[in-house]
Chain A
Amino acid sequence: MKRQLALIGYALGALSRRRGRSAAVTAGLALVVGLFGSVLFLGDALRAEVEAGARYLPDLSVQRLVAGRPALVPTDVVGAVRGIPGVRSVNARVWGYLYVPPISANITILGATGREATLHAAMVAGRSLRAGERGACVLGAALAEAIGVEPGDEVSLSSDVGGSDATVHWLRIVGVFHDASALRTADVLITSDADARNLLGVDAGLATDLAVSLTTPDEARVASEKIALLVAGARIVDKQLLRRTYALTLDGRGGLLSAMLLPALAALLLLAWDRLTGLSEAERREIGVLKAIGWEVSEVLTARLWESLLVALGGATLGVLGAYAYVFLAQAPGLAGALYGWSALYPPLRLTPQVDAAQALALIVGVALPFVAVGLVPAWRAATLDPDHALRGGA
């Protein structure tokens, strides 16, 4: 232990005596690890967003397609669906997108189904809706900020029925909520079922979709099959399936990006190999001296390996920190688009720092160890230089 510390001390000294070269190799490593790390962190952050968003998804959502286009679902099937074994509850939901000219954006209107209790925790101001409360709404923090309103204010929205039928609805804001999952709730306005129907032009007896909750997620497949028989043209979205699809898409895209970075890593390892095999004259002399004054082969070897390990760990750690800053402080300019092409619908997405320490560690180790492994043979070559080289002044 003491011996290792002394050897580390020597290795640090040796690195600082050749600080130009050490810095160059460290920077190269930091760059490559930084690129890998950015992909990894961005993937993790997006995965976390998806997971957080999935909390609000029902186990199954039943939509309907007519002639390949989305259509409204008749609510009279609710009773039948509720009767399917494994189904715990069914909610007919009304929701949709509404264009708001003043902010030139689509917002999501959500009809309250009485199951927004989860929002209580997330209210940043005001309160949540009461059951059946008319003419009132709660909105997402990003939306409230965009329109510049707070609880107590009223917003006017023109309904989406088109032409002269369009009427203006005034809704009083009773609360603003915020959630870690920016992806899902940023642009949401929740109002009573009846107000939502008016705004979106959805007649009674119809719904946008059915939210089905199951007793256990394992029932999803069987229940889906039964629902498909009940609802003509049903398109059923399985939450588990959706989550896995997102996870796999992210993994796949992240992997593709990583694969494109592999040549960079290979180039770096080659550079390291070159650097480590081509001992400079000064290094050769120094090792000769060490051997001559009584360092064993294994001691010189260990010192050399500490040198490469320190460079590798230093570079990899710098790279990971750089990636963190790039993704979460700078919001990954340039890379974000490649990884989440689908989020154009939403207002700017603020990535929440989300780092799996184990993955970061795996990254550091995964780069550092091969880097050191590449240096094993060169280090051994150096360590077995004959001590009598020092006798005649090196060479």
Chain B
Amino acid sequence: MLTNLLHPLLLLRVVAALVVAVLVLVGARVAWQVLLRWQISRASEGQLYLERRAELVATLVQGALVMTIAGLALTVLAADRLAPSIRGAMCAYGVFGSTPTGFFALGTSAASAAACALWVVLHRLDLRLATPALTRRKFLALLFVVPLVLTDLVAQLRFVLDLDFTVVASCCSTSLDGTVAAVERAAPAGARDLASGVALAAALGAVLAALFTRWRPIAAAAYAAGALSLVAAVAAVPAVLWVVAPYAYESPHHLCPFCLLRADAGGLGWPLFASLFTGTLLGVALALVESQKRASGASAEAAAMQRGLARWAAAAWLLALVLAAAPVVRYLVLSGGVSLFGAHG
């Protein structure tokens, strides 16, 4: 419904997606011009002109990056705050689930933020180099960001317009808790332990790999940090679902990650998901820089950049671990060490 645009948060969300699309499109257009005219060896007025256009592209994409992050936060915030307006929706899960595009829009939001962030990493690496060895690559890469932000714009529009406040949504308590109960019957406690174990190990591994990269930026460490970050991010979904969320609500059968955003869970979801997202991105960024080391022709510069990224990657993953552990530890302390899931958990 077009009238959905009258809701301030939804309107803001669409505007944010629109601004991102415009910024990236203009940036890509300039990038394309630069690509057509770039001549690496000549240091002349023309070259200076191109360098300045390149600076424009970077400025636009960095602006877009900030907007995509704001947009991601807005997507979640809007869904969370709209839950009372949709019958049956108790949290953002119900709102996303009430339209076919909801979860897809959440995904494209995250993906375009990640794409812009990784592009900025590439750009920062390029800036450090004495030669424009990565510049062509950087601009080519931007051409791949374009379809992503356009998809996001369409997805946000669809999501906002598809939202129907007259439907009865099924929320986390029926869809999530139900499916998990089925899994529980099939593999009691085992699945839960496996998921949380993998997430914990991968996150710790990501911290260690990042710290190692900071100490000695070798290829293996950087790639390990990237891979472990990705594994930890994937494993974090069931781990949050099956362990963090139930402990946060102190109810073994309520598993919704989106309810963690609400005030009754202390808003734990916000910093938790933010640090998970940041940690994953920075871990992948370490691997990305590693992959460009040879092409850059200046591995010392790339390594210096990795050292900087690695510190923040480790910090983000540590923060995520602390935040995820907090409700579990609190429960165990209060209950005197008794697991929420009974003796076997």
Chain A positions near chain B (C-beta within 8 angstroms) = 36, 39-40, 51, 218, 240-241, 243-244, 247-248, 251-252, 254-256, 258-259, 297-298, 301, 356, 358-359, 362-363, 365-366, 369-370, 372-373, 376-377, 379-380, 383-384
Contacts and interface: CB of A to CB of B under 8 A. Distances in A.
A362 B74 contact: yes
Name, among B6, B8, B70, the residue most crowded by chain A CB atoms within 10 Å (CB to CB). Answer: B8
Contacts of B3: 252, 255
A373 B19 contact: yes
B85 A248 contact: yes
B contact patch SS: helix
A247 B85 contact: yes
B113 interface: no
B85 A362 contact: no
B8 A248 contact: no
A contact patch SS: helix
B74 A244 contact: no
B288 interface: no
A356 B81 contact: yes
A232 to B, nearest CB: 28
A359 B81 contact: yes
B87 A369 contact: no
Interface string B84-105: 1111100000000000000000
Q: Which 7 A-B pairs have the closest CB atoms?
A: A255-B6, A366-B12, A384-B52, A380-B56, A376-B63, A247-B85, A297-B55
6 contacts: A244-B85, A258-B8, A259-B6, A366-B12, A369-B67, A376-B60
B6 A252 contact: yes
Contact of A370 (B6, B15, B77, B87): B15
A385 to B, nearest CB: 10
Interface in B15-74: 15-16, 19, 23, 52, 55-56, 58-60, 63, 66-67, 70, 74
A369 B74 contact: no
A247 B82 CA distance: 10
Given A298-B55, A373-B23, A379-B59, A251 B66 contact: no
Nearest to B15: A370
A362 B9 contact: yes
B9 A359 contact: yes
B165 A248 contact: yes
In the complex, which range does the number of interface residues on chain B fall in? 20 to 34
A380 B12 contact: no
Given A248-B165, A301-B59, A369-B70, A376 B81 contact: no
A129 B165 CA distance: 41
A301 B8 contact: no
A30 to B, nearest CB: 18
A358 B78 CA distance: 10
A377 B3 CA distance: 33
Contact of B70 (A243, A254, A365): A365
A243 B63 contact: no
Contacts of A356: 81
Contacts of A369: 16, 19, 66-67, 70
Interface in B115-138: 127
Contact of A36 (B8, B60, B74, B87): B8
A363 B8 contact: yes
A255 B10 CA distance: 10
Nearest to A221: B168
Name, among B6, B60, B74, B81, the residue most crowded by chain A CB atoms within 10 Å (CB to CB). Answer: B6
Contact of A255 (B8, B63, B127): B8
Interface of B: 3, 5-9, 11-12, 15-16, 19, 23, 52, 55-56, 58-60, 63, 66-67, 70, 74, 77, 81, 84-88, 127, 165
A370 B55 CA distance: 20
A36 B11 CA distance: 13
Contacts of A358: 77, 81
A373 B63 contact: yes
A3 B81 CA distance: 38
Contacts of B12: 362, 366
A6 B217 CA distance: 30
Given A298-B127, A373-B67, A384-B52, 19 more contacts: A36-B8, A218-B88, A244-B85, A247-B84, A251-B6, A254-B8, A255-B6, A255-B11, A258-B6, A259-B6, A358-B77, A358-B81, A359-B8, A365-B70, A366-B74, A369-B70, A376-B63, A379-B59, A383-B55
B56 A377 contact: yes
A384 B16 CA distance: 27
A80 B63 CA distance: 65
Contacts of B66: 369
A196 to B, nearest CB: 33
A366 B52 contact: no
Contacts of B5: 255
A373 B60 CA distance: 8
B143 to A, nearest CB: 20
Nearest to B270: A358
A377 to B, nearest CB: 7
Contacts of B77: 358-359, 362
A376 B59 contact: yes
Nearest to B4: A255
A269 B60 CA distance: 18
A218 B12 CA distance: 33
A252 B12 CA distance: 15
A370 B8 contact: no
Contacts of A252: 3, 6
A358 B66 CA distance: 18
A240 B88 CA distance: 9
Name, among A252, A254, A373, the residue most crowded by chain B CB atoms within 10 Å (CB to CB). Answer: A373
B170 to A, nearest CB: 10
A383 B54 CA distance: 13
Nearest to B84: A247
B89 to A, nearest CB: 10
